[in-house]
Amino acid sequence: MNYIDEGMLEGLRISHNKELARYGIWAKNAKMSITEEKISIDGAIIDEINFNTLQNSGIKMLDIRKSKVRDIIFTKDIALNVHFGGITFADRIRSNSNFHGKFEFANCIFEQEVNFNEASFNDILFAYNTFKRAASFLHTIFGNTKNTTIINLSNTTFLDRVGFHNATFNQNIRFTNLTFKKELIFDRAEFNCNQAVFNITCEKRAHFIGTKFQNVAGFERCDFKKELGLMITHTKKIGFIETIFSDFIMKKEPLPNYMIFQKCVFLNKLDLKYCNFKEITFNTCAFKDNIYFNNSTFQDYADFHECEFEKTASFYEVTFYKTPSFSQAIFKGNLNIVNANLNFDFDDLESTIKHEHEDYNKNIEKNENKKSRDKFANDFRDSFRIFKNTLIKDNNLLDASNFHKYELYSKELELKHKGNKTIKEHIEKWQLYFYRKLCDHHTDLLLNLKWLIIAIGLFASLYFISRLIQDISILESLNPFGICFSIACAFIALILYWFGYIERLDFFASINAVITLWIICYKPQLIFGIANLLGNIKYHGFENFLITIYTIIIGLIIFSLQKTARKNSIVPN
């Protein structure tokens, strides 16, 4: 409200429309229509609108178009439905009113500051407007929880600073095609609604610090030309679709339960170190500068498929609790994944692939459009292959060996779920299964040693039983102290296994280690298998067969053992 000299104002009012003046509207050159409950005005110059007078006259609807409005006097509670279309507001607007009716601003120009601090709008529409000065919505309330319509703020340009500090949004809201030429602030705003969607362009910094989204926040086709600061709390899901970021700054804690970036472009360095992510997806994103996830944790699924990394991508000391996907990702610069902890095994990978397969196909009705599980396994294999090849390019063969292992996991699962397999594919599947169980694809030396001990122990046991059947008197030659020691070791191993201190394989390895110790003490030459057939000792048919099979198995195990010991030979040239 502007304060004008009373004498001057009285002189101006002589030329005003007297009929409109009865309703508190001081207008000139007005084309108007007045009914019992509605006033329509077109093409007028309006010096003053007094909502108190207007409302007391019984009017329920005010419709003003293509006019110029100077001063508006608001009252605390306004029940009217108001439409301003094509209006130029020449003076400052300031109100903390409770707007109970529908309030619409369409194709309007606000020449001066707009201040709706502590106001409340039951139903508000902003469309095709221009704000030339600052706009403030401090502690403003938009909508109510009982209204199911969507609040729309669309196709509007803000030439000066805009603030929604501590604002409350109680209905689903869309910010569509909004342009902010200067600073945009949503600090400590609360969105008590199911969905808030932003389609905005910010030429200066935009801040969402301490902002609360009750459910879903979506940023679609946004362009943040300067800094975007995020510290969003109590949010289930936040998504960025086809959005361009210049400087993306996100506070480390707390993070939403699910974050998705789809077809986004990050122009500058992205620092996401020491973050504790839950579920996060970067789908077909482009990173034009360095990106750092150092020391971050991914508690749930992490998806980077079809992303393009122009420069350094650092996952130093990152922990993945579930299998990540980097299918068809491109690393043009350096990839740093040193000391990354991929905290999953074959069973975890199989579970993840199953989950992705079911989640992808659950809403697809036609079978021809569904994606088979072996295709998902192939996508994960492609992810691990990309990491492996990138690390080989950087001469990081040790870390590359781990990703080669995961690549073989995926290949085994792909063959397992593939239909109409050839004989060659059947053989390849069982070969992959064998080497996974034997030595985890040449990455687990201790596992390989366990199987070596088990193979020697089983062979010695069967050979001893064969000899015992032929001559039971050989029991007399056994050392009684050795027998007692063996029983004690077996009992200890059984107790440890029974109470869950060791796994089943460790239990069998412990028992066979005792047997191997016996064979070393009494007849170590048996360890060398088929070499025993070259001497003068006579063996019957079963023993010859047993020694031959043992020699083949022990040869495979020793070959695998030496290959596992030489880490650099794991990754193919």
pLDDT digits (tens, 9 = 90+) for 168-187: 999 999 999 999 999 999 99
pLDDT digits (tens, 9 = 90+) for 362-380: 877 776 678 889 998 998 8
Q: How far apart are the first and last CA of the chain?
A: 79
Question: Domain extents for the chain?
Answer: 19-340, 345-437, 445-568
Decide: 456 and 568 in contact? Cβ < 8 Å. no
- Per residue of the chain (573 residues), give pLDDT as tens: 444 455 555 555 557 888 999 999 999 988 999 998 999 999 999 999 999 999 999 999 999 999 999 999 999 999 999 999 999 999 999 999 999 999 999 999 999 999 999 999 999 999 999 999 999 999 999 998 777 788 999 999 999 999 999 999 999 999 999 999 999 999 999 999 999 999 999 999 999 999 999 999 999 999 999 999 998 877 889 999 999 999 999 887 778 889 999 999 999 999 999 999 999 999 999 999 999 999 999 998 899 988 999 999 999 999 998 888 888 888 888 888 888 888 778 888 898 888 888 888 887 777 667 888 999 899 889 888 888 887 888 787 777 888 889 999 999 999 999 988 899 999 999 999 999 999 888 888 899 999 999 998 898 888 888 878 887 877 777 778 888 888 898 899 899 989 988 899 999 999 989 888 888 887 777 777 655 555 556 667 787 788 888 888 888 888 888 888 876 444 444
Element (H, E) at 34: strand 31-34
pLDDT value for 268: 95
pLDDT value for 13: 53
CA distance linking residue 429 with residue 472, whole number of Å:
44
The radius of gyration computed from the CA coordinates of the chain, to the nearest angstrom, equals 38
Please, what's the b/e burial string for 373-398 (b: 16 or more CB within 10 A of its CB; e: otherwise)? bbebbbbbbbbbbbbbbbbbebebbe
| Cβ neighbours of 192 (radius 10 Å) | 17
Amino acid (1-letter code) at residue 146: K
- Contact partners, residue 311, CB within 8 Å, separation at least 6: 287, 288, 289, 290, 291, 332, 333, 334
The whole-angstrom distance between residue 464's C-alpha and the CA centroid of its chain comes to: 59
Nearest to 557 by CA among 519, 532, 534, 527: 527
Tokens describing residue 499: 């109470």
- Contact partners, residue 214, CB within 8 Å, separation at least 6: 190, 191, 192, 193, 194, 234, 235, 236
> What is the pTM (predicted TM-score) of this model?
0.80
pLDDT value for 7: 52
Nearest to 121 by CA among 63, 79, 165: 79
E-strand stretches of 203-306: 206-213, 216-220, 223-233, 237-241, 244-250, 258-262, 265-266, 270-271, 276-277, 279-283, 286-287, 291-292, 297-298, 302-303
Tokens describing residue 335: 């990839």
